Amino acid sequence: MQMNITYLSESRSACEKEDVTDPLRNWQDAFNLPQDLIYLDGNSLGAMPKKALEQLEQTIRNEWAEDLITSWNKAGWWKLPETLGELIAPVVGAASGQVIISDSTSLNIYKSIHAALGLRQKRTVVISEADSFPTNLYIMDGVATTRKNIQRRLLGKDGNTLDELLDDQVAVVSFSHINYRTGEILPIAELVQQTHDAGALFVLDTCHSAGVLPVELDQWGVDFAVGCTYKYLNGGPGSPAFIYVAKRHQKEAVNPLSGWWGHARPFEFEENFHAAEGIRRFQTGTQPILSLRGLQAGLEIAQEVDLPQVRKKSQRLTQLFIKLIESGCRNYGVTLQSPTDHDKRGSQVTLHFENGFAVIQALIARKIIADFREPGSMRFGFAPLYLRYTDVWDAAEALEDVLKTEEWKEERFRQKHEVT
């Protein structure tokens, strides 16, 4: 369904008006962002909720410094992965008891694919996307080394549609909801249906969708899902990820990383592993409590916001940016890598430019933060809770200026750091 984008700003003052009437404008105040910075990287590391600082401080001063080990019970540390999982559940369309916060996305992909293969013992094929975020493929290969004869088939390489790749040997299909490079959204409900029709299971990666657009894990019939919390959920650098296991699989699904936190009776210290009931069995070991506390504020915000409204603003911000780039930067060899149809586009705009790395460095020097992914992809993320329409205007204008003046050619913008 094409949503009608009724109004796109023609001038900076029109953008100012948009900011004043923006129904999400009050959320900006919930975040700590330097005044003179335009932050277009919320797709990689979300901004800091002001409340996170308070919660962390209280955890460190009271729970850690004063109450020490008693905080495992008294402050609810032990249950925190479940408590926070319950906060995330409605944000990704999951009923209670199916989501837990634990470990990293990479580890949760491992657990999910391994468990899904275990539920389809006789089959040997795993399908993913050629243009997956690399860790998803690396981890899939790692899982393959633990079993016999696993083969991978990649969408975009071994076939161009899921249908072409499916047959009765396929055990698992593992896709990302939104492509990390281009921002393209996949029609998950449809793909899950095709996967199930072929007798396979579906593992969904929601890293680039959780918190910024409606996700309906239960409704779409997804079997396993994972997602980052430090991107649009604003959980802080390296905040633990989440894993979703559909209720119907929880009894049979085996967590290959069977640590004591997933044990039915962890404090009995038994010799053998007995998996806990329900989603708890997908934990492994002791969790980083400070990082979990840092994440809480971001999840509380995600709980409260109206996601369809966030989605609408996200579409308008990206549409505005594309329109400004098309009129201002067309002559400099920049091309759009993201879908032009805003119903197929996540909350980012990717532009291709061969010397994109240097262009991004020049923008960062102007306090406009975006990032770069090889080869030639300049990524601009639009987090609707703290971005203004005027920010989009100013960023587009700066980009045009950097290209027009060829400022990016300066030597200082060519130096590569470890993180791009």
Ligand X SMILES: *Cc1c(COP(=O)(O)O)cnc(C)c1O
Catalytic residue of the set 205, 223, 371, 391: 205
Output the six-digit token pair for 190.
């449809």
Q: Select 176 or 284, whichever has its Cβ closest to ligand X.
A: 176
Catalytic residue of the set 231, 280, 311, 345: 231
Return the axis-axis angle of helices 80-88 and 289-304, rounded to nearest 10°.
20
Q: Which residue type is seen at 53? A: L
133 catalytic? Reply is yes
Please state, in angstroms and rounded to a whole number, the distance separating the CA atoms of residues 175 and 136.
Answer: 9
List the interface residues with ligand X, window 325-354 (CB under 6 A).
none
Three-state DSSP class for residue 159: strand
Q: What is the DSSP letter of 248?
A: G
Binding string, 131-160, against ligand X, x = CB under 6 A?
--x-xx------------------------
Q: Select 348 or 355, whichever has its Cβ closest to ligand X.
A: 348
Please state, in angstroms and rounded to a whole number, the distance separating the CA atoms of residues 262 and 115.
Answer: 14
Closest contact distance (angstroms) between CB of 85 and ligand X is 17
Closest contact distance (angstroms) between CB of 305 and ligand X is 21
Place of tokens 């032990």: 78
- Phi/psi at 5 (nearest 5 deg)? -90, 105
Which candidate, 199, 204, 158, places its Cα nearest to that of 185? 204
176 touching ligand X, by CB under 6 A: yes
Helix (H) or strand (E) holding 359: helix 356-365
393 touching ligand X, by CB under 6 A: no
Closest contact distance (angstroms) between CB of 180 and ligand X is 4
Q: Which stretch binds ligand X (CB under 6 A): 20-28, 75-83, 204-212, 312-320?
A: 204-212
Among 28, 55, 71, 106, binds ligand X (CB under 6 A): 106
110 catalytic? Reply is no
123 catalytic? Reply is no
Q: What is the DSSP letter of 254?
A: -
Please state, in angstroms and rounded to a whole number, the distance separating the CA atoms of residues 246 and 78.
Answer: 23
Contact 159, 132 (CB under 8 A): no
List the interface residues with ligand X, window 109-128 (CB under 6 A).
none
Q: Which residues contact 118 (CB under 8 A, 6 or more apart)?
A: 252, 253, 254
Which candidate, 365, 376, 356, places its Cα nearest to that of 412? 365
Which candidate, 261, 287, 290, places its Cα nearest to that of 65? 290
267 catalytic? Reply is no
Closest contact distance (angstroms) between CB of 259 and ligand X is 17
Output the six-digit token pair for 92.
């990704």
Q: Which stretch binds ligand X (CB under 6 A): 20-28, 103-111, 162-170, 317-325?
A: 103-111
230 catalytic? Reply is yes
Catalytic residue of the set 133, 321, 357, 386: 133
Catalytic residue of the set 39, 175, 202, 230: 230
Closest contact distance (angstroms) between CB of 62 and ligand X is 29
Binding string, 219-258, against ligand X, x = CB under 6 A?
---------x------------x-----------------
Among 9, 59, 105, 318, binds ligand X (CB under 6 A): 105
Q: Which stretch binds ligand X (CB under 6 A): 83-91, 102-110, 159-167, 286-294?
A: 102-110
Output the six-digit token pair for 52.
């996170």
Please tell me the number of Cα atoms within 13 Å of 257 on its side-chain side.
Answer: 19
Residues annotated as catalytic (active site), given as ranges: 133, 205, 230-231, 379
Q: What residue ranges bind ligand X (CB under 6 A)?
A: 104-106, 133, 135-136, 176, 180, 205, 207-208, 228, 241
